[in-house]
Amino acid sequence: MPKTLLFASAILVASTAALAEPTYVVADRMLDVESGKYIANPVIGMDDGKIVSVSTGAAPDGAEVIDLTGHTILPGLIDMHVHLDGRPEYGGYSGLQFTDRFWTFLAAANADKMLKVGFTTVRNVGDTDYNVAGLDQAIEEGWLQGPRIVNANYALGATGGHCDETFLPPSFNRKSPAVGDSPEELRKRVREQRKYGAEVIKACATGGVFSRNTAPGIQQLNLEELTAIAEETHFWGLKAAAHAHGAAGIKAAILAGFDTIEHASFIDDEGIRLAKERGTFLSMDIFNTEYTLSEGEKNGVLKENLDKERLVSKAQRDNFSKAHKAGVKMVFGSDAGVMPHESVPGQFAVMVRLGMTPLEAIRAATINAADALGQKGQVGTIAVGAWADIIAVDGDVLANVRELEDVDAVVKGGKLVE
């Protein structure tokens, strides 16, 4: 580098340093999710929303400090499967009592709740009316408080399938704008959803629990259609998520090249082998069953849907253990919206009960999730260059993962969440 240029850049560095004073997080210890080890007296420097230094000891004299002394810090959590514009309290037909915009405001309330319980990033895999794209923009612009959102907009699917409108008679003439019934139609749906802000594409490969007249075990998009969706999604540089309960639909989605399989309830040995071989992530919502079965009827959930939940949940939990044991990559996905958003941290304990170590469960919601989002090094880690998203808990999360059910402080983008 010529001397003059070197001199000029030195001045530039000096002047930005003078303008930007890092803020520091200090705590008793930090869980390094990569190594699985605790680090004592961490000092995390943050500037302009990002982490700029990670050291130990004490913050520089006179620096602005977020003092989390007495606490253990770890990266902000990531939930890979949420529906921010829904609430379980409005099951079955009860949601029809509200005007369309009701759900937009509900999404804002849910985003706030998820952030406060420690989720600084969520992947929203299916909404209506582009509620979540608007919410995402309002949060990014600073009008509302909420997690970072990786948003799918409408989920793609077959006419009459799980992700179509399945609750209304023909005279209401209502269908999802994201249905398609051929590879070409579905390629166009990918482009449309991306056009209006989708950052991930979700498609419904099989029937599901909370739709009408769909069977979770039955495939609803064929291999050619799924391949067209995955190809088109990757062509545009996005990741593809497949809702799939039944074994055939799961395998077809993996073969088609989807990056994550949502639910994966009836995955068979062949599906587990394929997922492992292809590096496909499973996102299994193994916590919401008890909520649905105890509160569903009161919330207006139809008998048909409660019956399907009973059918799916036991197999899903057994297969979670099996897939994890086989070494398939797993991420944390709750299906919040089917259960209250604020109760999502309860899933960690179920993951541990079904065979994960606490560290594995935490990795599913941090580094593994970041990897599945294509955002490794940006979220799910406390490292230089990552977003300054940090949570604080009491006690030892590696001994008792339920400590994550009581997060004491949340820092998002370098700012303490009120």
Q: Which residues pair with 260 in a beta bridge?
A: 241, 281
Secondary structure string (H, E, C) spanning the chain = CCHHHHHHHHHHHHHHHHHCCCEEEEEEEEEECCCCEEEECEEEEEECCEEEEEEECCCCCCCEEEEEEEEEEEECEEEEEECCCCCCCCCCCHHHHCCCCHHHHHHHHHHHHHHHCCEEEEEECCCCCCHHHHHHHHHHCCCCCCCEEEECCCCEECCCCCCCCCCCCHHHCCCCCCECCCHHHHHHHHHHHHHCCCCEEEEECECCCCCCCCCCCCECCCHHHHHHHHHHHHHCCCEEEEEECCHHHHHHHHHHCCCEEEECCCCCHHHHHHHHHHCCEEECCCCCHHHHHHHCCCCCCCHHHHHHHHHHHHHHHHHHHHHHHHCCCEECCCCECCECHHHHHHHHHHHHHCCCCHHHHHHHCCHHHHHHHCCECCECCCCCCCECCEEEECCCCCCCHHHHHCCCEEEECCEECC
Q: Which stretch binds Zn ion (CB under 5 A): 23-31, 54-62, 191-199, 335-343?
A: 335-343
User: Which CB atom, from 71 or from 317, has the smaller least distance to Zn ion?
Assistant: 317
Q: How far is the CB of 106 from Zn ion (least distance, A)?
A: 16
Footprint on residues 296-325 left by Zn ion (CB under 5 A): none
Of 335, 371, 389, 403, the one binding Zn ion (CB under 5 A) is 335
Q: How far is the CB of 198 from Zn ion (least distance, A)?
A: 15
User: Which CB atom, from 89 or from 184, has the smaller least distance to Zn ion?
Assistant: 89
Q: Which stretch binds Zn ion (CB under 5 A): 38-46, 266-274, 332-340, 355-363?
A: 332-340
Q: How far is the CB of 285 from Zn ion (least distance, A)?
A: 7
Tokens in use for 16? 């930005």
Q: Which stretch binds Zn ion (CB under 5 A): 43-51, 296-304, 327-335, 341-349?
A: 327-335
User: Which CB atom, from 262 or from 403, has the smaller least distance to Zn ion?
Assistant: 262
Q: Which stretch binds Zn ion (CB under 5 A): 95-103, 134-142, 268-276, 334-342?
A: 334-342
CA distance 201 to 234: 9
User: Which CB atom, from 295 or from 408, has the smaller least distance to Zn ion?
Assistant: 295
User: Which CB atom, from 209 or from 388, has the smaller least distance to Zn ion?
Assistant: 209
Q: How far is the CB of 21 from Zn ion (least distance, A)?
A: 43
User: Which CB atom, from 75 or from 92, has the smaller least distance to Zn ion?
Assistant: 92
Q: How far is the CB of 243 from Zn ion (least distance, A)?
A: 7
Our finding on whether 79 is near Zn ion (CB under 5 A) is no
Q: How far is the CB of 361 from Zn ion (least distance, A)?
A: 20
User: Which CB atom, from 163 or from 391, has the smaller least distance to Zn ion?
Assistant: 163
CA distance 390 to 26: 11
User: Which CB atom, from 80 or from 274, has the smaller least distance to Zn ion?
Assistant: 80
Q: How far is the CB of 125 from Zn ion (least distance, A)?
A: 6
Number of residues that bind Zn ion (CB under 5 A): 1
Q: How far is the CB of 178 from Zn ion (least distance, A)?
A: 14
Query: Which residue type occupies 376?
Result: K
Which of 220, 328, 337 has the alpha carbon at shortest distance from 281? 328
User: Which CB atom, from 246 or from 414, has the smaller least distance to Zn ion?
Assistant: 246
Q: How far is the CB of 81 from Zn ion (least distance, A)?
A: 6
Q: Which stretch binds Zn ion (CB under 5 A): 147-155, 216-224, 330-338, 355-363?
A: 330-338
Q: How far is the CB of 86 from Zn ion (least distance, A)?
A: 9
Q: Which stretch binds Zn ion (CB under 5 A): 92-100, 168-176, 333-341, 356-364?
A: 333-341
Which of 178, 163, 267, 241 has the alpha carbon at shortest distance from 209? 163
Nearest position to Zn ion, beta carbon: 335
User: Which CB atom, from 63 or from 218, has the smaller least distance to Zn ion?
Assistant: 218
Q: Where does this chain bind Zn ion (CB under 5 A)?
A: 335
